[in-house]
Chain A
Amino acid sequence: MAAPVSASRLASIVKQRCSIFQTAYNPTNARTGAKYLRARLRGPSMVRYYPQTINISQIARQYPELEICDESEAERFEDVTEKKKRGKGAPKKAKTKADSRRLHKRR
């Protein structure tokens, strides 16, 4: 059996090891928050999760000179105007408290 190594000697070994491998010497295990700096950034890979999709309305807004027609949006707009003509549009926003109360009562 080897003789037990003293605590101070062990500490000095650890200190040496830290200086050799360039790690922080932290004998009391105090929380330094270093793990938040050491961890890799997760944002870039998070953004890449969904495959890129083409947004027609966004392109149309960006380049108005191209005059791109978003067909599904045009169809929706047509449907809404048709409904409004038949009196089936969305109800008007309540401007006062009394208005909103009336809306609740009707239901």
Chain B
Amino acid sequence: MPSIRVLRDIKARHGVEANEIARRAYLYVARNESLPPQVRHQAQLQLNTFGRYTRPTTVKNRCSESGKGRGIISEFALCRFQFRLKALKGELNGVHKASW
């Protein structure tokens, strides 16, 4: 069972995906200088009504094994320790311990 932090992150990811197109449309209107200021302001107010878990900045890459939030190697979705363990076990294709 993933930790609550990972569950929360998954929730945020799904929220971002569900609301991305609407947010982009509002962003386009709000940031478009050729539109009247009133319209842009309305769009910005609409953007502010979106929930916390719809913003892409709330998404954080966490370790898929241990749920740690720091020291993540994003390509493998693992923290550095789990990465080491898995690499030494040979579970990561193309990764082996350096020696020279």
List of A residues within 8 angstroms of B33 by Cβ: 30-33
Interface size on A, as a range, is 10 to 19
The number of chain B residues with a CB under 8 A from chain A is: 26
Q: Which residues of B contact A72 (CB under 8 A)?
A: 1
| Stretch binding the partner chain, chosen from A48-56, A81-89, A92-100 | A48-56
Contact residues in A for B79 (Cβ distance below 8 Å): none
> What number of A-B contacts does a CB cutoff of 8 Å give?
57
Bound CA–CA A13/B30 (angstroms): 31
Given A37-B24, A50-B64, A51-B64, CB of A42 within 8 Å of CB of B31: no
Among B42-80, those with CB < 8 Å from A are 56, 59, 61, 64, 77
Is A47 in contact with chain B by the CB < 8 A criterion? yes
Verify B31–A33 contact, CB threshold 8 A.
yes
The A48-76 residues at the B interface (CB cut-off 8 A) are: 49-51, 53, 72
B2–A41 CB distance below 8 A? no
Q: Are A31 and B10 in contact (CB under 8 A)?
A: no
Pairwise interchain contact B17-A31, C-beta atoms closer than 8 A: no
In the complex, chain A residues whose CB is within 8 Å of the CB of B64 = 49-51
Q: Which of B6, B13, B77 contacts A47 (CB 8 A)?
A: B13
Query: Is A5 positioned at the interface, with any CB of B under 8 Å from its CB?
Result: no
Q: Is A7 an interface residue (CB 8 A)?
A: no
Contacts of A91 in B (CB 8 A): none
Instruction: Specify the chain A residue showing the minimal Cβ separation from B40.
Output: A33
Closest A residue to B28 by beta carbon equals: A33
Would you call A90 an interface residue if the criterion is a C-beta within 8 Å of the partner chain's C-beta atoms? Answer: no
Interface residues, chain A, with chain B CB atoms under 8 Å away: 30-34, 36-37, 39, 41-44, 46-47, 49-51, 53, 72
CB within 8 Å of A: which residues of B? 1-2, 6, 9-10, 13-14, 16-18, 20-21, 24, 27-34, 56, 59, 61, 64, 77
Instruction: Name 25 interchain pairs, CB-CB below 8 A, sorted by A.
Output: A30-B33, A30-B34, A31-B31, A31-B32, A32-B32, A33-B29, A33-B31, A33-B32, A33-B33, A36-B24, A37-B28, A39-B24, A42-B56, A43-B20, A46-B13, A46-B56, A46-B59, A47-B17, A49-B13, A49-B61, A49-B64, A49-B77, A50-B64, A51-B77, A72-B1
